[in-house]
Structure formats: C-alpha cells, structure tokens
Structure 1
Amino acid sequence: MSGDVQSRAGRHYVLAAGGTGGHLIPAFALATELERRGHHVALITDERGANIPGKPDFLPAHVLPAGRFGKNPLHWIGGIRAVLEGRSMALRLFETFQPSAVVGFGGYPALPAMLASTSAEIPTVVHEQNAVLGRVNRLMAGKVQAIATSYPDVARLKEKQRIKVDLVGNPVRAEVLTLRDEDFPPFTEDGILRVLVTGGSQGASVLSEVVPDGLAMLQPALRQRLQVTQQCRPEDLDRVRERYRNHDIPAELGTYFEDMETRLADAHLFIGRAGASTIAELTAVGRPAILVPLPIATDDHQAANTREVVKAGGARMIRQDRFTPKELAKQIQAMAQNPGSLSNAAHAAWNCGRPDAAKKLAELVESFGGAEMMDVIRIGANNARGASQGVPAGQGAGCESHTEISE
C-alpha cells in the first residue's frame, strides 16, 4: 500500500471545463482536493472560466479556442476549426505538462482537451453534474475510461457505457460543506421564517415576478413572520423592492451576495432554480426547497436534477408554466404548516447529500496512470459500483426513504 501511495505523489492532472459556475465549481473542488494530496493541477477553460471568482490561486488556467455548435450548420465550420485549433494547443500543453489523467467537466470549452487526451491515449475521465448526460460528455462517453456521475440515474447514458460509471456526487465549495454538521436553524410556531430566493448567477425574472406576490398570499399567521433574502437582476431590483414594501414583508435584496453560504446556513426554505450546483449545495447542507427548473435547459436537465430530492421529500418542484403566486403560496403553506414539516424536509434533503464527492472523484482520478495491476483492481471496483449505482446506507451519501409531507 505504501508503495502505491508513493507512486501517486506529485502527479500532474489537467481539468477541462466550460466557463460557467455549474462546470467550474466541481472542477475547483477537485483541484483543491488533488492539490491537498500533493499533485499539480492545471485548468483548461474559456475566458469566462479563467476569470471567474473562486478560482484557486494555485490553479493555472489555459484558455483554448473551442467554438460552439448551434442549430445552424453554416456555423459549424467555424466551430470545427476552433475545436481543432484548441486540440492542437492542448496536445502541446500535454507534451510539456505530462498529465497522468485528464478530467472533463462538460461544456464546449472542455471538448478540445478531451479530444486531445483520448487521441494521445492519456487516461480520461468525465464528470457529469446533471441527471442528464450533457452534449460534450455524451460525445466523449464512448472514448473515456470512466464516467463519474452525480446522481444514481443519469439519462442519455448508453447501456454499454454503464460499466464505466462511478457514482461520486457533485463536489461543492468547502465553505458550504463545513455547514453540513450544523443543525437546521430553529423554527418554532411563532418564530421567524427565513426564506432565501436565488435564480443562479444572473437571477431569474420569473422569481421576481412571482415570489413577492406568492408570499403575500400566505395566511397572515405565517406571512407576518417572514424574513426574505432575494437575489434579483439589476433591472428588477427597484420593482421587487417596491412590491415587498407594498406587501409589508421585510426583504433584503441584492444582485449578488458574497456571503451566500452564510445566508444558506440561516435559511429555513430555499426558492429557486434547479441547477446541479444549487441542488448539490442544498443537499450538502440540508435545506428544504421549492425548485423551479429552467424550462429552456438542454434536455430538460434541471427538472431531472430535482427527481431524487423530491422523491425523498426534501423539496417540491413546480414547472415554470405552473409557477403562479397562488401555487407558490399553496406549496409554502404545506411545507411550513408546522415546524416539524420543514425539519423533516431538511433531514430528507440532507440524506440526499454526497459530502465526499470531491474525495471520491479524486480517488477515481488517482486510480489512473498508476501501475498496470492497480488499474486492473480499479476497473473491477468501478464496475461493481457502476452496476449497483448506489452507496451503502448510513453513510450520508444517498437518499433514504422518508415520509413525504402531506398536502
């Protein structure tokens, strides 16, 4: 064992990810874990990803051309040319950096690096954050050595590819993970109900339209106890502030909150979109939620992301075409009708969390590029995990069955 650990020390790994937070948050978490283990890590992304807040200081970012492929085939020529250029640049980087493995987190900026790694026969892993395999990961799934997933059931995954699957979860930020062992904030029959509303990094106008009026429709005994924190688009800010003022509901509004983890820690109920990172953080901390999937999300993946936690009783999902003030008030009233209901939902959400995701993903990545015999052992272990698509009960790694909150 000591020899194997020694052989893994100081390896080089390349992470490739699209420029959005959904792709980069888990990439940063993995980079931090690999660096903690003594490895050297580099990032391949686009301009957005290279400059996004939260990138670890130790992580060098390489911006490569990637191109995008829309519905118009006339635009594909330029996209293909950019991908091929990015692939050549990635190959040159690999010659210098000599990675033991390359990990792709999806998004078009990851594609050139993934094509380069598979053509150079460098061990390659993809991590899928959503419950539907994304386009780039779908394209590469047949060529990579392992597919790390965040959910037990992932759509668009071919049957013959399931042998490569390893359920690890979706890594979250360390500052959020530290909240996992804290108790759900006290909520009594006459105590304040703190509601946190966000729509992703850019906010969501539909939340600004619906949430203030929905909260105003709650029964007076509950409405009078509200304390709201809501992230809004800049153009919505004044209008939403006026609505809360007219409804006499205390609300703190902003376009961005730097201390989001603190606000999540204090919240009794979350209302927002169903992005992969959002759900990973909600389940890591254990917070009840009303989730409104983005209707234009590719392959309806945000709706798919909600299924596990909704089935467990930790959240409720409302389609955007049914997301009205009346429906929102109905669902909040049902979830907060007594203190025990919210507490039970919080516990159900907590049980869906996979707090060891970064560690498990790091272990999977480390298993590549080692001695040939170790790879044989790894493949056998991964196949067993992929077949079961689960984690032993009692380890806080999966949803357990819970009584759902009554309507």
Structure 2
Amino acid sequence: MRIGIACGGTGGHIFPGLAVAQLLTNRKHDVVLWLAGRDVESVSTSGWIGSVVSIGGKGLPVGFSLRSFTAIWSLFCAVAKSWLRMRKQPPDAIVAMGGYGSVGPVIAAYILGIPVILHEANVIPGRAIEFLSKFAKIVAISFDISMQYIKHPKVVFTGFPLRQDINKNVSEGLIATKYFTVLIMGGSQGAHALNEIAVSAICRLHLHGIPVQVIHLSGVKDETIVRKAYENTGVPCVVLGFLKDMARAYSQADLVIARSGAATCAELIARRIPAVLVPLPTAMRNHQLANARAVQKSKGVVVMEEKDLDPERLSEFIKGCYRNPEILDKMKEALKNIPENNATERLADIVEEVVQDKTV
C-alpha cells in the first residue's frame, strides 16, 4: 500500500504522524510524509528515511483581516500542489493529523476519490478537523470524551499515537542525578510566560535552600535568557531550545511542569510522571484546558491555570512534593490506573482496513 501521512505544523501534529508512519513502514507499506515546510518539521523528522512532500500553507487567523487573504491563498496553493502530486502518484489513503498542514492533502485526496482518515489529538476538535471531517471516511480520537464534539457517522477512539522511543530505557540522562529534578517544557515552540514563572519559582527554591535541579526545554527564543537566569542563581540546570529524544528527559524527572498539548498529556501518562499542567490560555477553543481537565480526572496531575499562577504558588507546590514524596507516589499510582491503548497500532490497523475496504 502507498500511504500519505499529512502531519505538518507543530510537534503535536508531527510526532503522532511520524509514529504511525514508522509502524506502517515496518509493515512494509510505502509511506510519504506530507509537511507544511516549517523549521520545526526538519528537526522533528530528522530520523525519517522515507519520502517527504512539502506543500506549504498557513493557518487562518482568528477573525477576518488582511492576513486572512494570504492564508486562504496559501491553502488554495497547498490544495493545488497536493492535487498535482497525487494525480501523478496517487496514494491508497491519506491519514491527516489535523492543523492547516492537513487541508491541502485532504481536499486533494477527496477530489481524486482517495479515502481519508483523520486523527484529532485534543479533547476539543480544531477548526481543521471540524472542517475536513466531511471529507473523511473515519475520524479517530485521542480522548473518548471527544465523541460529543465531533459530528461524523464514524468516530473511533484510538488514543494518541506515541513515538516508539518514548518508553525506551535510557543509559545516560541529561543531567547528573544529584537533586530533586524538575522537567519544565512548553511544547515544541516553547512558552514564554511559563518560562518566566517557572524560572522564578525554581530560583526561589534554590535561594531558600531546597536542593533542586532542572531540565528546561525553553523553546529556541528563550534558551539563552533562561540559561543565564539559572546560572546567575547557581541552579544546576540543562537548558535546551528543543529536544527530540524526550525519553532522556522523562527518565530523570521527578516532577514535570508543562503545557497541556495532547502529545504532552499522552507522554506523561505513558511514562507515569506526575505533573503540573499549565494550559496555554490562548489555545484555540481553550483545548489545552480541556485536555488538562480530562487527565486531571485520574488524579495523576495537578492543573494550574496561568491566570492564577505565580512563582510563589508554584514554588510552594514543588517544595511540598520534595518534602512529602508520598504526594508524587500517589500521583504515579493514579496514572498507572489509566489503561494503555496501543493507539499507534489501532490507527495503523484502521488505515489498512479502509484501504482494503473490509469494515468501513
């Protein structure tokens, strides 16, 4: 089978698409990644040895402005490029992970009569999935609660496809394991507000004699200033703008402080790591808050909204976890109660079934 995976955009689209692509490749299928041409894509897919098609495209802004015309034109061009490529080398199916990077390949596939499978990562569907669902054979979801938000005759719960290496055993971590280790991350693009609050909280703990060290994935823009803040205070740290091998960071984390994108939530559950989730307040349709609340039901994470968060509150919580290890032990046990869903295998199975026209 020849399968196209449209997963351009952010890490939240790329990594689950890449996970499915790797598995389908292992099953001897010919897989092509369809990307949007962003810088983060080249870093995230550096280990991919299969074919890649870059079609461009831009996301539509909220509301109507001059930027809307540019975005609409770019999406039209993405559809045209996708159609021309698929007409020459038609895939047997297109799997789209959402975001504007899915628009061109999905519409082109529909025009050419190529079956489409969508995957929605978040609790609340994005605009792309909502719009493109009318062209899809199946819409797969990461959270079962998403059923109530998607109007489609065939919605299937699969879970979130994870990278194969996310649970691997790590022989060498990122930092010497001396102290209580906090992993801070804002997603593939970083998170400036979260960086500021977390840096202040960690430095505050250090100055009050709490033996804490930090692995901080700051995003490229904040990498230098975050590193300097820790070094000036004397906090043992590793600061990186971006990290592809997340298993190395997760293996050393006693506690995670992070945004609540779907990929982060799924990885924390898989690794059973207690976390403070700080949803991005500007996320479209407030989907990160919905993700965080869904995971919070397990009692394995704590949700702190950014509007209510300051360095003092965050530092007090971290200090409480350090002084009372049983807090984190209970959170870990709670996360273990969330069943594994084998999402990558499920989604790959669905793709094969759609192409073979067995159950759809």
The normalised TM-score by structure 2 is 0.87
Q: CA deviation at 1:354?
A: 3.9
In the superposition, the TM-score normalised over structure 1's length comes to 0.78
- Tell me which residue corresponds to 1:196: 183
1:95-174 equivalences in 2 (<5 Å): 95-154=87-146, 157-158=149-150, 160-161=151-152, 163-174=153-164
Q: Which moved more, 1:226-235 or 1:353-362?
A: 226-235
Distance, in Å, in 2 between the alignment partners of 1:75 and 1:236 is 27
Residue 26 of structure 1 and its aligned partner are, at CA, apart by 0.6
- Among 12, 16, 19, the alignment partner of 2:6 is 16
Deviation at 1:171, TM superposition (A): 1.3
Match of 1:256 in 2: 242
Specify the alignment match of 1:303 in structure 2: 289
Contact 2:103–2:128 (Cα < 8 Å) also in 1 = yes
Cross-structure match for 2:30:
40
The 8 Å contact of residues 218 and 239 in structure 2, kept in 1 or not, is answered as: yes
Deviation of the 1:219 alpha carbon: 10
The answer for unaligned runs of 5 or more in structure 1 is 1-10, 181-186, 380-407
CA contact (8 A) 1:17 1:44 kept: yes
The answer for the alignment partner of 2:78 in structure 1 is 86
1:69 corresponds to which residue? 60
Match of 1:142, SS? helix
What's the offset of the Cα at 1:283?
1.1
SS at the partner of 1:194?
strand
Q: Is 2:42 the counterpart of 1:51?
A: yes
Q: Which runs of 5+ in 2 are unaligned?
A: 171-176
- Displacement of 1:331 in angstroms is 2.7
Tell me what 1:280 maps to.
266
**Alignment counterpart, residue 30 of structure 1, candidates 14, 20, 24:** 20
Number of aligned residue pairs: 352
After TM superposition, give the deviation of residue 115 of structure 1 in Å: 0.9
Let me know the Cα RMSD of the aligned residues: 2.8
2:145 counterpart SS class: coil
Q: Which residue of 2 aligns with 1:392?
A: none
Does the 8 Å CA contact 2:221/2:241 hold for their aligned counterparts?
no
What is the match of residue 385 of structure 1?
none
Amino acid paired to 1:284: A
Contact 1:292–1:319 (8 Å) recurs in 2? yes
Identity of aligned residues (%): 29
Q: Letter of the 2:191 partner, please give it.
A: A
For residues 328-385 of structure 1, give each alpha carbon's deviation from its aligned partner in whole angstroms, at most 9, with x where no partner exists. Answer: 13333444443232122123234436451111110111111214xx2xxx24xxxxxx
| Distance change (3 Å), C-alpha of 1:247 and 1:305 | same
Taking the aligned partners of 1:203 and 1:68, their CA distance within structure 2 comes to 19
What's the counterpart of residue 174 of structure 2?
A: none
